[in-house]
Amino acid sequence: MDNTKKKVKIGAAGHAMNAIAFILLTLGSVICVLPFIIIVSGSFTDNTTILREGYSLLPRNITLSAYRTIFKAPQDIFQAYKMTFIYTILGTGIGLMVITMTSYVISRNEFKYRNQVSFLIYFTSIFGGGMLPWYLMYANVLGMKGKMFPIWFPALMSPFLVILMRTFIKGSVPDAITESAKIDGAGHVTIFSRIVLPVLGPGLATVGLFLALGYWNDWYRASMFSVNSKTWTLQFYLYDLLNASTAIKQMSQNSSISTKDLPTESVKMAMAVVATGPVLLFYPFVQKYFVSGITVGAVKG
Amino acid sequence: MKRKILSILLATCLTAGLVGCGGGNSVSVSVTEEVSASTETPASTEEAKELDLSERVDLVFYVMGEAPQDEELVEDEINKILLDKFNATVDMQFSTWTEFQQKYTQEITSQGADLIYIANWLSFGQLAQSGAFVALDDLLNTVGTEVRDLVGENALNMCSVNGSVYAVPNTWAEYTSNGIKYREDLRAKYDLPVPNSLENMEAYFDGIMANDPSQGILTVTTEESTGLQTAFDAAWVLNIKYPWVATNGLPYGLAANYDTPSDVYDYWFSDDFVEDMKMLKRWADKGYWSRSALSDTNKSDAYKTGLCVAEVAGQNPNKQITAIQELEEGGEGWESEYIAYGEVTKAIYPGHATQNGTAIVNGCKNPERAMLVLQAFLCDEELNHLISYGIKGTHYDVVDGIYENLSDTFPYEGFNTWNLRNGDTKLPQKTDVKLQEYFDKYDAIAKTTKFPNVNIYDGFAENYEDYTAERQAVSNVMRTYLAPLQAGLVDDVDAAVEEFRTKVKDAGLDTCREGFEKQWAAYCDAYGYK
């Protein structure tokens, strides 16, 4: 309405301030974007050119050979993509459910041992059984080596996310609301699903994004518990390609192993593009929730 | 009330945490206990040599690296034979190259595998000592006589720890002798000497610089030199001067000659060292390598792409073969030649037996059957070829006695079974012909040494628990002071040498040397390397 009037009111100092802010922010975003552009252009550049002349902003001697190398065995990479999607969807879905319900319970005042339970959850973030017992638990006691289960299950809940969610619920759902619902005859299930859940939007988005990113980026559990490539995640598939080249290079010092056909510089770049691509597409859509959610958690946490 | 509950909770949590932490230890304890138990079992089979095969046994064979695409296809084929002969099956499991050291020890601790690949770079010695593997002496004398005779007493001895054999090595002696890889076409073009000594190397480099000033000479970094022997890759050329018992001498600036391994002498504090550093400084001043060599990353493609005219660190005959192929594919008429340092110094030896071997993991329920299967993999030509090269006609073919790959889905040694190489039946690849030429040449020299065909240093495993801190400090000093010295990036060599010597002494060099020399002397004594 009177937007025009407001604009007029900005004085010279305000303009200068805006100009500085715009310049700084532009510079900042350029600095953030540049490396990625170099990676993308490197992935299209001929490997010898990279070695001789270094990286550049625009690809020279454009070739698709790096992508051809990566997609040489497409069934493997598609399988890895598929598994990553399965783990991410399964893990994020179940994880969100479990985390929200746990947080709801420990955020309720009528739950007598809420502080003790919170403490127990918090405690696991400081003390753990250690790597080897953890591994033996899944591999030997549960006999889960080579299955999908130990790859998505261990990351379902993290103390940090539970506490974040608890703080969020406490902040956005006043006791009065749930109490009045109770008076109207609502049980915990109704309160949780019809009153609490609907206002948790930003919190769910934040926790969901944390979980999803964690699952998307995970390679460690796939590395530990896989016995063949059927359960590999995408990140592990790509990471392992790189590791294989380093290891083979090292081993070939002491052993007769062929060092031909190791991934080249441009292949490494192409891998980074393949691995980050989907996340880049996905990120802008949840970003607004992400920002508001994380500040909500931070201020009151 | 509340406080009480809290304190009880805390206490339980703490104990739970402690129990959790102790878990790792208790596992290894149970491992050692089982050693004694399982070493006794074979004794009972001695009378009944005919093994009871009525019960089917499924074995897991853990190997390093990546699985080939046709893993299952080949496994099925192998298992058909194994079921028929031994009523057993084998499932190959692969470490992948990600975190493989950690996964390897986990695999042993969790006793998930029966047969396992072993190597000195996977700490075979320490693992065997801590009871990770089944002692094989009795098994070899009962069910494994065939493989015992194939491998030979000498090689088995090298795989023994504290008097018991813990692994079966492969029977293909390979030479991984370090050396210099250089461009023969350039040498011929400019009529330069063959770089078979430090002087000739210098002449070769100088000649190329004079004729083509824009040509890079060496792309050396610090990456091949992270141990305690040397700190900069260019210093590897010194191996052409000294007949040392190991590449780059012994750790902590010590050295011993191959012919007299127990006679350890001081290299860092000798005049030779100063002289060598002066030579390297001269080379650096001539511009053989970049001024930023210390911070450069290793460019493994440099030789292939013509950025350098020689590689001097971390090379071996097999890498030379790869280079020949790559230069051929490059199609620019470039040629690569190779000189092993040992050829010149006459101190040359094949890889140690523990470089590629197979062990039976402690906790294996059927060690006899595992041994039978292992024996078949090594001695039975049909099985050996199947597990090494895949299915004949589908994955490979033999043309004039040479292996030819037919499918990407199972490459040469697709299961990474370097431990199952049988020297008698190994199918050579096209490139192996050339490789064998190198090996034959080295073999002839190796026979003339005082310890023919023994890789003395690689059988030795240093235990530095008592001086880890000093060792770390020495390593740091080497990186800070020795690396620029060897890279020739100092102004005054004599002063820099003095500074390095003082610093490394301060870091606790003497403690390390004392500890090392004691163990080394004991090792030489035990195996008779005088």
Task: Enter the tokens of residue B264.
Answer: 């350890």
pLDDT value at residue B27: 35
Cα B418 to Cα B311: distance, rounded to the nearest angstrom: 26
Nearest residue of chain A to residue B105 (CA atoms) = A132
Domain boundary among A63, A89, A108: A63
Size of interface A-B (CB pairs under 8 A): 134
At A204 the three-state DSSP class reads helix
From A253's Cα to the closest Cα of chain B, the distance in A is 6
Task: Please report which confidence band the pLDDT of residue A20 belongs to, taking 50, 70 and 90 as the band edges.
Answer: very high
Mark whether A42 and A157 lie in a shared domain: no
CA dihedral B151, B458, B460, B39 (to 10 degrees): -30
Q: What is the CATH number of the domain that holds A110?
A: 1.10.3720.10
Q: How many CA atoms lie within 13 A of B358 on its CB side?
A: 30
Grouped pLDDT means (10 residues each) for chain B, 530 residues:
48 42 36 40 44 86 88 92 91 88 88 90 86 90 89 86 88 88 92 92 93 90 82 91 90 91 92 93 92 80 86 87 84 90 90 88 90 91 91 89 86 88 87 87 88 83 87 92 92 93 93 92 86
Mark whether A46 and A163 lie in a shared domain: no
Task: Give the nearest partner residue to A254 out of B121, B325, B326, using CB atoms.
Answer: B121
Each residue of A273-286: pLDDT tens digit?
A: 887 777 777 677 76
From A254's Cα to the closest Cα of chain B, the distance in A is 6
In the sheet where B357-360 sits, what is the strand order?
B88-94, B57-63, B115-118, B357-360, B168-169
ipTM of the complex: 0.73
* Enclosing domain of residue A275: 73-300
pLDDT value at residue B50: 62
Q: Give domain status of residue A68, yes or no.
A: no
Q: Give domain status of residue A137, yes or no.
A: yes
Nearest residue of chain A to residue B436 (CA atoms) = A256
Q: How many CA atoms lie within 13 A of A159 on its CB side?
A: 12
Q: Give domain status of residue A108, yes or no.
A: yes
Cα B227 to Cα B418: distance, rounded to the nearest angstrom: 25
Each residue of A168-225: pLDDT tens digit?
A: 888 888 888 888 888 888 888 888 888 888 888 888 888 888 888 888 888 888 888 8
Task: Please report which confidence band the pLDDT of residue A65 belongs to, taking 50, 70 and 90 as the band edges.
Answer: confident
Cα A246 to Cα B389: distance, rounded to the nearest angstrom: 24
From B466's Cα to the closest Cα of chain A, the distance in A is 25
Interface with A, mutate which of B74, B225, B296, B318 (most A CBs under 10 A): B318
List of chain A residues whose C-beta atoms are within 8 Å of the C-beta of residue B355: 254-255
List of chain B residues whose C-beta atoms are within 8 Å of the C-beta of residue A54: none
Strand partners, A23: none
Nearest residue of chain A to residue B65 (CA atoms) = A244
Mark whether B79 and B149 lie in a shared domain: yes
- Cβ A255–B355 below 8 Å, yes or no? yes
Overall residue count recorded for chain A in this entry? 301
pLDDT value at residue B90: 92
How many Å separate Cα A291 from the centre of its chain? 15
Strand partners, B255: B265
Mark whether A190 and A229 lie in a shared domain: yes
Percent of chain A with pLDDT over 90: 8
* Enclosing domain of residue B492: 178-348+443-530
pLDDT value at residue B41: 42
Each residue of A73-126: pLDDT tens digit?
A: 677 778 888 888 899 999 999 999 999 999 988 888 888 888 888 888 888 888
Mark whether B312 and B187 lie in a shared domain: yes
- Cβ A73–B69 below 8 Å, yes or no? yes
Q: Give domain status of residue B517, yes or no.
A: yes
Interface with B, mutate which of A256, A261, A267 (most B CBs under 10 A): A256
- Cβ B301–A51 below 8 Å, yes or no? yes
Task: Give the nearest partner residue to A136 out of B27, B67, B314, using CB atoms.
Answer: B27
Closest by alpha carbon to B20, among A288, A141, A278, A212?
A141
Task: Enter the tokens of residue B288.
Answer: 């053989």
Contact B86, B372 (CB under 8 A): yes
Mark whether A18 and A86 lie in a shared domain: no
Q: Give domain status of residue A191, yes or no.
A: yes
In sequence order, the 6+-apart residues with CB closer than 8 A to the CB of B505 are none
Closest by alpha carbon to B180, among B201, B205, B203?
B201
Contact B339, B203 (CB under 8 A): no
Closest by alpha carbon to B165, among B155, B178, B150, B175?
B155
Mark whether B91 and B227 lie in a shared domain: no
Q: Is the dihedral of CA A150, A151, A155, A157 positive or negative?
A: negative
Task: Give the nearest partner residue to B24 out of A47, A130, A251, using CB atoms.
Answer: A130
Contact A301, A163 (CB under 8 A): yes
Distance between the two ends of chain A, CA-based, in angstroms?
39
- DSSP letter assigned to residue A62: B
How many Å separate Cα A60 from the centre of its chain? 33
Domain boundary among A39, A63, A87: A63
Mark whether B91 and B112 lie in a shared domain: yes
Mark whether A233 and A274 lie in a shared domain: yes
Which phi and psi (to 5°) does residue B349 adopt? -155, 150
Q: Give domain status of residue B118, yes or no.
A: yes
Strands B179-183 and B336-340: antiparallel
Residue at B247: amino acid letter: T
- The CA angle B415-B418-B424, to the nearest 5 degrees, is 115
- Cβ A136–B109 below 8 Å, yes or no? yes
At A253 the three-state DSSP class reads coil
List of chain A residues whose C-beta atoms are within 8 Å of the C-beta of residue B418: 255-257
Nearest residue of chain B to residue A260 (CA atoms) = B322
**Count of structural domains within chain B:** 2
Closest by alpha carbon to B265, among B249, B247, B280?
B249
At A97 the three-state DSSP class reads helix
Cα A257 to Cα B396: distance, rounded to the nearest angstrom: 18
Q: How many CA atoms lie within 13 A of A209 on its CB side?
A: 20
pLDDT value at residue B30: 37
Q: Give domain status of residue B37, yes or no.
A: no
Q: What is the CATH number of the domain that holds B477?
A: 3.40.190.10
Contact B352, B458 (CB under 8 A): yes
Task: Enter the tokens of residue B84.
Answer: 């028929």
What does pLDDT average to over chain A? 81
Mark whether A30 and A99 lie in a shared domain: no
Task: Enter the tokens of residue B487.
Answer: 């890279």
Mark whether B369 and B466 lie in a shared domain: no
Mark whether B343 and B398 lie in a shared domain: no
Mark whether A92 and A204 lie in a shared domain: yes
Closest by alpha carbon to B169, among B129, B136, B210, B192?
B136
Which run of H or E residues covers position B158? helix B153-158
pTM recorded for the entire structure: 0.75
- Cβ A260–B326 below 8 Å, yes or no? yes
List of chain B residues whose C-beta atoms are within 8 Å of the C-beta of residue A47: 301
Closest by alpha carbon to B241, among B338, B311, B315, B346?
B346
CA dihedral B405, B407, B411, B412 (to 10 degrees): -20
Cα B128 to Cα B149: distance, rounded to the nearest angstrom: 22
Closest by alpha carbon to B369, among B54, B74, B124?
B54
Q: Give domain status of residue B436, yes or no.
A: no
> Of residues B81 and A248, which shows the higher confidence score?
B81
Which run of H or E residues covers position B58? strand B57-63
Task: Please report which confidence band the pLDDT of residue A13 belongs to, taking 50, 70 and 90 as the band edges.
Answer: confident
**Angle between helices A201-217 and A265-300 in degrees, nearest 10:** 150
- Cβ A256–B176 below 8 Å, yes or no? yes
Instruction: Say how many C-beta atoms besides its own lie within 10 A of residue B51's C-beta.
Output: 16
- DSSP letter assigned to residue B244: B
Q: Give domain status of residue A111, yes or no.
A: yes
- DSSP letter assigned to residue B331: T
- Cβ A253–B176 below 8 Å, yes or no? yes
pLDDT value at residue A75: 78
- Cβ A132–B24 below 8 Å, yes or no? yes
Which phi and psi (to 5°) does residue B404 adopt? -130, 125
